[in-house]
Amino acid sequence: MAESWSFLDTVEPNFRPLVVIELAKGTKEETIEWFTKRIVDKKANGGAQLLVKPLGTENGEENIYLVGASHLRLLLGAETVGLVKECSDNSMRTFTYSSRKTFKDFADDNHNFLTIAECQYIIKHELENLRAKDEKMIPGYPQAKLYPGKSIVRRLLTNGILVQIFPLHDREELKKLRHSWYGRVKVGYQPLDEIRCYFGETIALYFGFLEYFTFALIPMAVIGIPYYVFAWEDYDKYVMFATFNLLWSTVILEVWKRICAIMTYRWGTLLMKRQFEEPRPGFHGVLGINPITGKEEPVYSSIKRQIRIYLVSLPFVCLCLYFSLYVMMIYFDLEQWALDYHEANESTFSSLMLFVPSIIYAVVIEIMNRIYRYAAEFLTSWENHRLESSYQNHLILKVLVFNFLNCFASLFYIAFVLFDMKLLRQSLATLLITSQVINQFAESVFPYWLQKRHTKRMKKRMCSMKRDTDLSLVEQVNLEKEMGTYLGTFDDYLELFLQFGYVSLFSCVYPLAAVFAVLNNITEIYSDALKMCRVYKRPFAEPTANIGVWQLAFETMSVISVVTNCILIGMSPQVNALFPDSKMDLMLTVALVEHLLLAIKFIMAFVIPDKPRDIQIKLAKLEFESLEALKQQVRAPDMHNSQK
Amino acid sequence: MAESWSFLDTVEPNFRPLVVIELAKGTKEETIEWFTKRIVDKKANGGAQLLVKPLGTENGEENIYLVGASHLRLLLGAETVGLVKECSDNSMRTFTYSSRKTFKDFADDNHNFLTIAECQYIIKHELENLRAKDEKMIPGYPQAKLYPGKSIVRRLLTNGILVQIFPLHDREELKKLRHSWYGRVKVGYQPLDEIRCYFGETIALYFGFLEYFTFALIPMAVIGIPYYVFAWEDYDKYVMFATFNLLWSTVILEVWKRICAIMTYRWGTLLMKRQFEEPRPGFHGVLGINPITGKEEPVYSSIKRQIRIYLVSLPFVCLCLYFSLYVMMIYFDLEQWALDYHEANESTFSSLMLFVPSIIYAVVIEIMNRIYRYAAEFLTSWENHRLESSYQNHLILKVLVFNFLNCFASLFYIAFVLFDMKLLRQSLATLLITSQVINQFAESVFPYWLQKRHTKRMKKRMCSMKRDTDLSLVEQVNLEKEMGTYLGTFDDYLELFLQFGYVSLFSCVYPLAAVFAVLNNITEIYSDALKMCRVYKRPFAEPTANIGVWQLAFETMSVISVVTNCILIGMSPQVNALFPDSKMDLMLTVALVEHLLLAIKFIMAFVIPDKPRDIQIKLAKLEFESLEALKQQVRAPDMHNSQK
């Protein structure tokens, strides 16, 4: 085995480790040899043509390998994954090796042309596309079946031979990023471009959205404060506030699309063509022919999946929703009991007791959400979706519906069944603040504390053999491999989504919600940044052009909030006083206003273009150029034929 | 000039005329010579490489030319316009000349591989893409400026030198089509594929939609008949009918998208890539640089256009809407007067008089619609849109809003202000039937009669010199060039759209509307077919993949109809009787049901896939193949570089 390493070492003396592969302890020698050979093998032989190096044999850890690649290999890989980079003439174009000279900042010795995140993404892509040739199984593991074209890494992962693959932190870069991100107390924007270079587009886009959303809430918060300070109770003011909120939320969601387009155009992902989607790792089925690619791969009947979705998942979700409503009713009983208690023996203790049911309920909701989340993941995985995107959509849908009901059902009940605006305001405040505190704690503070403790212990264990810089790499890898895995932006978006619900659904009752949301989001930016940089393993970059299904979720929420706010305003005594003789007229007016607002929302969403004009022109220009190129290709034989 | 014809005549002895070019009488000789030379010139010299022939010099008519093309030229043109044809393996692929052997039914001597409509579309495309090289003006017309890249045909058209270009009817084919379309009394589908071959996809899609829509209305009509026959007045039955209608209309609109995808996939237009859109002929501005193509062309400031739209067109449209409402109020005064008259002196005459205001109003509406249409066309043209599609969208929007208000405002007024269900039913019936009769008459019967008369006169004038088959062509061209021009499917769709409004907006009040709609549509199919085949000039085929903005318009109408029907049901005395003590409960229930129905509609629209699964798979397969081809292209240099 040593020969292959020595050969590579002579070719590339300054091997730069980018990605870590951790195999299960006690993996058979022949498997390791075969796998590493496939990784370093030439493209022509079906290899990935990457560089690989064991981490260090001193303390006998033979199960961790570092993967890198030569500069040339990375550039060719950038072409394969279809990266889009800026040209010297400021236009964005798909990178190809042959046209490399036309790109901005390109030089043969400039190793910073590709960001580290891009390099790691390329290596991940190449590793995942390492496919079986004529092997029938993983050598040494007859139960791990292979067939031509099956991704080797995915098979190794599903069989537990491969524990994990993760990209290595770059300590220098991370330090710089930390400093400019949250290292100093400052007022200003996040360094989104640097975040994108280090963590990739998906995460940068989340932070971009978080920041944008926080700024967008500020007008609501500013308008909301005087309502609290002066205890304004005139509903004409509330109506103004609610109307502003509703139109504002439409505007901010539409404007976000434009800002998102500007960012992702600059990052190149707006133009990036998606590769053909492979089955997700967990997908299983009998071997058959894929009707699209014509290749052999597991197939699973779509009807079976539909049956599982509609006959098992759907009833289960409904049951959970029912259970959640049941818990809610218990909460109201508790609430009533606390109120009775307070009335019977009035004291500071009893008035504090008034808040207890809400706090308990908020905690229970959080727990239920988390349990349901596991069930939803299990069910969605059992539904056996072929594509990761379809899996994600079904999971997000399940989780969203449940979380929505859990968080808002009690508020709807209070508002539209009990008609108790005072209780609504109080519950809203308790729910909002409790959930924010719990989230901040559960997401960052607690894991950070765990991580700190763990690091200390690790350092203590290792300091005995601490010698030189090379060992520091071993130490780093060992530290990072034990860190938690960041599971994607789902939870972070979900939190924002629910917060948006608290702010917008009942905005005319509790204008202060926006203030809390803004305060929470400012700390959220810092705690999420801390989480990304210090608590979790570095995640692989994932190119993306927008926030996907979340845009739809936020838009749906803003439609629902039009309905709730109109009803709330219609129910207010002040508005009722305007229609003293006819409740009918009041209801008709409310319904009319609601439909009008909805119509305005839809028209606004339709009229405001999703992309700014200059981005539209740039995109049109690119499309025009590719059509022209196609025409030239077509015209060539045309000319030829017409000569004869 | 004779040399060039004689040269072509020897090359292609059986010249088949496809397209007619009519120049203005007295066009200068040098202009004709230059223009025809450009048409026949080689592609390499910037010509269109088509065949052209004067119609016939006997009676001195030098201003009409016939254009044709060799079979080879048409095949190359099919590649240029990006036609999609069926391969031998039943997949649809973009036609290229080099891969011609792989296409189904292709043979070098099979001149029916391309349909006549396709051949004519290719010739039109080639003529329109005949561009100025270094000419500064049209020879002989110094005021007709040219600049490099300007479409010559468009300049000739705007300067009135070119009167018209139209495709010639094929008498044999037309006879066959007429026979299978409406020539015999039969129950069954229209020959949509034949219509598509003869008239192109846009028109075939209209007839497809008309037929589909008629079939889709049949269930509504069938359910509606007993309501009329047994004079059912129980509102629980009406509620059932309305609910069925609302969900049904969502289903039919979603299913139409699928059927449309199946048809256009078969026709190849679903896969056809649109060419880059050129400025529409009427567009004017100072010469500048197009930021997308980088070419010189007229540019017009977008801000100026916005000002024209928002400061002139929008106020004008609002004024027209106001005027229309004013006319409506006059109608109600008339209606009241007729009622008073009827009550004062009751007689058959006075009861007939009751219908007079409605009929007058329907006629006035038709007239106002037509006048407004001209104003809208003028305004939209004055807004100076660069693209034909943008022009069309603005025009359609203007016309739709006005027509909607004109047709339905009185009904809304009767229903929701007067609360007079009897009058509503009567007005609905009168409006629906009157507008259908007027339309059928104005659209087909009257033009057909004019056409008939004109043909007779023409025949009389020509019979003196009737000699052989060649003269029959001259006769045909002379007849056809005088025929009216079919202005596109706009009016036909508009008529269907308004009909859909009559049927769905008040369906729970007048279930018989669907019956009238079905009856009208059956005759409409025949009268429209007659119109296409006998009244109008043959239109150029226009490839299209869907019904475009009309899908959106129909969907909007079906959303509005949910609202109106819910209110109507809520207002009915029977439903009111269910809530004897509380109007509030009634209103809340109605609002709840309405929102529920709207939610179901949106979920249904979201859940039903727009394309059937097999079409999805076929499209994915094609995309996969093109990605693979791209990868192969990419891998080639990759391999090469990795060897060194």
- 3-state per-residue secondary structure call for B178-210: HHHHHHCCCCCCCCHHHHHHHHCHHHHHHHHHH
Per-residue confidence (pLDDT) for residue B633, from 0 to 100: 54
A-chain residues near B412 (CB < 8 A): none
Which member of B97, B291, B642 has the closest CB to residue A76? B642
Q: Note whether A341 and A353 are within 8 A (CB).
A: yes
B469 touches chain A (CB under 8 A): no
Integer Rg of chain B from CA: 29
Verify whether the Cβ–Cβ distance A613 to B563 is below 8 Å. no
Per-residue confidence (pLDDT) for residue A19, from 0 to 100: 92
Per-residue confidence (pLDDT) for residue A631, from 0 to 100: 58
Global ipTM: 0.80
B636 touches chain A (CB under 8 A): no
Gap from A108 CA to chain B (nearest CA, Å): 14
B639 touches chain A (CB under 8 A): yes
Q: What are the angstrom distances between the C-alpha of B470 and each of B64, B161, B465?
A: 15, 27, 12
Verify whether the Cβ–Cβ distance A291 to B595 is below 8 Å. no
A587 touches chain B (CB under 8 A): yes
Count how many pairs of residues, chain A against chain B, have C-beta atoms within 8 Å: 94
Cβ count near B158 (within 10 Å): 14
Closest residue on chain A to B635 (Cα): A80
B88 touches chain A (CB under 8 A): no
Per-residue confidence (pLDDT) for residue A275, from 0 to 100: 65
Closest residue on chain A to B640 (Cα): A44
Which member of B583, B587, B641 has the closest CB to residue A72? B641
Low-confidence ranges of chain B (pLDDT < 70): 1-14, 56-61, 184-187, 232-237, 274-276, 458-471, 630-644
Please give the DSSP secondary-structure letter assigned to residue A610: S
B177: number of CA atoms within 13 Å, CB side? Answer: 22
Verify whether the Cβ–Cβ distance A79 to B634 is below 8 Å. yes
Q: How many residues does chain B have?
A: 644
Per-residue confidence (pLDDT) for residue A1, from 0 to 100: 34
A236 touches chain B (CB under 8 A): no
Gap from A624 CA to chain B (nearest CA, Å): 6
A-chain residues near B576 (CB < 8 A): none
Closest residue on chain B to A98 (Cα): B637
Which residues on adjacent β-strands are paired with residue A85? A93
Closest residue on chain A to B628 (Cα): A276
Which member of B621, B635, B641 has the closest CB to residue A291? B621
Dist. CA A251–CA A605, nearest whole Å: 8
Verify whether the Cβ–Cβ distance B638 to A80 is below 8 Å. yes
Q: Note whether B275 and B81 are within 8 A (CB).
A: yes
B-chain residues near A642 (CB < 8 A): 42-44, 49, 73, 76
Verify whether the Cβ–Cβ distance B627 to A563 is below 8 Å. no
A291 touches chain B (CB under 8 A): yes
Max distance between CA atoms of chain B, in angstroms, equals 106
Which member of A43, A276, A641 has the closest CB to residue B627? A276
Q: Note whether A523 and A440 are within 8 A (CB).
A: yes
Q: What are the angstrom distances between the C-alpha of A355 and each of A359, B22, B408?
A: 6, 87, 55
Which member of A98, A583, A639 has the closest CB to residue B44? A639
A624 touches chain B (CB under 8 A): yes
The helix or strand, by DSSP H or E, that contains position B487, with its residue range, turns out to be none
Verify whether the Cβ–Cβ distance A617 to B80 is below 8 Å. no
Cβ count near A219 (within 10 Å): 14
Verify whether the Cβ–Cβ distance A638 to B72 is below 8 Å. no
Q: Note whether A64 and A54 are within 8 A (CB).
A: yes
Verify whether the Cβ–Cβ distance B637 to A97 is below 8 Å. yes
Which member of B273, B587, B591 has the closest CB to residue A584? B587
Dist. CA A120–CA A100, nearest whole Å: 20
Verify whether the Cβ–Cβ distance B79 to A42 is below 8 Å. no
Q: What are the angstrom distances between the C-alpha of B333 and each of A432, B353, B432?
A: 58, 14, 21
Per-residue b or e along A595-634, where b marks 16 or more CB atoms closer than 10 Å to that residue's CB = eebbeebeeebeeeeebbeebeebbbbbebbeeeeeeeeb
Per-residue confidence (pLDDT) for residue A551, from 0 to 100: 92
Nearest one of A585, A416, A127, A398 to B587, comparing CA atoms: A585
Mutate to test the interface with A, among B590, B634, B644 (most CBs of A within 10 A): B634
Verify whether the Cβ–Cβ distance B638 to A584 is below 8 Å. no
Closest residue on chain A to B583 (Cα): A584
Question: pLDDT means per 10 residues in chain A (644 residues)?
Answer: 38 75 87 90 84 72 84 86 85 84 83 88 89 86 83 86 90 85 74 91 94 92 82 69 84 93 91 73 79 80 89 93 91 87 84 82 83 92 86 89 87 85 83 82 76 72 50 77 84 90 84 87 86 87 87 92 86 78 80 89 87 87 75 48 40
State the pairing for strand pair B51-54/B64-68.
Answer: antiparallel
Verify whether the Cβ–Cβ distance B43 to A639 is below 8 Å. yes
Q: How many residues does chain A have?
A: 644
Nearest one of B605, B493, B549, B608 to B210, comparing CA atoms: B493
B-chain residues near A80 (CB < 8 A): 631, 634-635, 638
Q: What are the angstrom distances between the C-alpha of B33 and each of B37, B39, B54, B67?
A: 6, 10, 11, 15
Dist. CA B617–CA B523, nearest whole Å: 38
A-chain residues near B291 (CB < 8 A): 617, 621
Q: Note whether A427 and A338 are within 8 A (CB).
A: no
Per-residue confidence (pLDDT) for residue B289, from 0 to 100: 84
Q: Is B354 helix (H, G, I), strand (E, B) or coil?
A: coil
B11 touches chain A (CB under 8 A): no
Dist. CA B65–CA B60, nearest whole Å: 13
A274 touches chain B (CB under 8 A): no
Q: What is the DSSP string of A109-156?
A: T-TTSS-HHHHHHHHHHHHHT-B-SS-SEETTEEEEE--TT-BHHHHH
| Burial class (CB within 10 angstroms; exposed 0-12, middle 13-18, buried 19+) of A49 | buried
Gap from A548 CA to chain B (nearest CA, Å): 15
